[in-house]
Amino acid sequence: MAVDSNYLQMLPDEIFPARERVAWTKRMEDGVSPGRRFLLLLRQLVPPLVAFIVFIGGWELLCALTHAPAYLVPKPSDIVKAAYENRAGLWVSVRTTTFEAVLGFVLSIILGIAGAIMLASSKWIEKAVYPYAIILQTIPIVAVAPLIVIWFDAGMNAIVIITFLIGFFPMLSNTLIGLNSTDQNMSNLFYLYNASGFQTMLKLRIPAALPYIVAGLKISCTLSVVGAIVGEYIAGIGGGQGGLGYAITYAAARLKTPYLFACGLSASVLGIIFFLLVNAFAKWLLSSWHESEMKKES
């Protein structure tokens, strides 16, 4: 007897639990033929690939027809050539920026989540401290960056702190919203069972806030790349170990526009990679129980 997949997906958890729903969906997907799976994948990849080819081809053709100088509007082929000719320096810059961005991102995760737990543990503390976190976020980073350089010297320390400051507030804000959005009925149940505040936080509020924490991660991971490059603009040290921010400044000052584009695209690719890694982590963490990441039948 055929089973309506949409009907099964609409059943409540008491009748069709989330774990069994995921297992059933996986069994249905495993039954799809390789040819059908390839066609579905092709349907997803073809539109963006065609748009990319049309855009790059049109850019190349327009620059060739208008004879635009490379220092003003480089062709895509000029950008690829510049990236290849400067591949050693570009790789060092990408590696340096990646290291700085990861350090700042990890700091924003640790201190953002810890700060949100502290604020959520006491309404008095939240009302007293959270407004200052908002004020810190509204101050332009270029206004406080000189102070950071004075306090921590130019270089890696200042860049990591600037990266942390840019990525900190999304983690704090999203985690705090998640911790304060716990189901009231569940909170009452924990209260009836005489659970301590620590037990309620650890076993109820933090697990319930995981989707919000993941949302903060997705925002903060891309901002960490932006923060690292901004930090390199303000507090970076050049030379052979300079990051993408220094490489962009170097290329712009010498009108090496193709290399400037190559550095900018490298920063964009780095941010995309960060986001994809966090997104994969989110799917692994939430796909078995939360609706935002569970696969749905179309």
Residue 29 clears pLDDT 80, i.e. is over it:
no
- Mean pLDDT in the chain? 85
pLDDT recorded at residue 1? 43
Residue 21 clears pLDDT 90, i.e. is over it:
no
Q: What mean pLDDT comes out for the span 8-13?
A: 52
Residue 107 clears pLDDT 80, i.e. is over it:
yes
pLDDT recorded at residue 174? 94
CA 117 – CA 257 distance, rounded (Å):
46
Q: What mean pLDDT comes out for the span 192-198?
A: 89
Residue 133 clears pLDDT 80, i.e. is over it:
yes
Residue 52 clears pLDDT 70, i.e. is over it:
yes
Residue 117 clears pLDDT 60, i.e. is over it:
yes
SS3 state at 81: helix
Q: What mean pLDDT comes out for the span 165-191?
A: 92
Quick one: tokens of 126? 């939240």
Residue 206 clears pLDDT 80, i.e. is over it:
yes
The pLDDT tens digits of the residues spanning 58-87 come to: 999 999 898 888 888 899 999 999 999 999
Least confident window among 1-5, 32-36, 119-123, 230-234? 1-5
Q: What percent of the chain has pLDDT over 90?
A: 49
Residue 154 is given by DSSP the state T
pLDDT recorded at residue 179? 94
Residue 17 clears pLDDT 60, i.e. is over it:
no
Residue 202 clears pLDDT 60, i.e. is over it:
yes
How many residues does the structure list for the chain? 298
Please state, as a whole number, how many other Cβ atoms lie within 10 Å of the Cβ of residue 271: 18
**Residue 58's closest CA among 48, 46, 47, 50?**
50
Please state, as a whole number, how many other Cβ atoms lie within 10 Å of the Cβ of residue 235: 23
Residue 212 clears pLDDT 90, i.e. is over it:
yes
Residue 4 clears pLDDT 50, i.e. is over it:
no
Residue 7 clears pLDDT 70, i.e. is over it:
no
Residue 122 clears pLDDT 60, i.e. is over it:
yes
Sign of CA dihedral 42, 43, 46, 48: negative
> Which residue, chain included where needed, has tokens 């976190």?
133
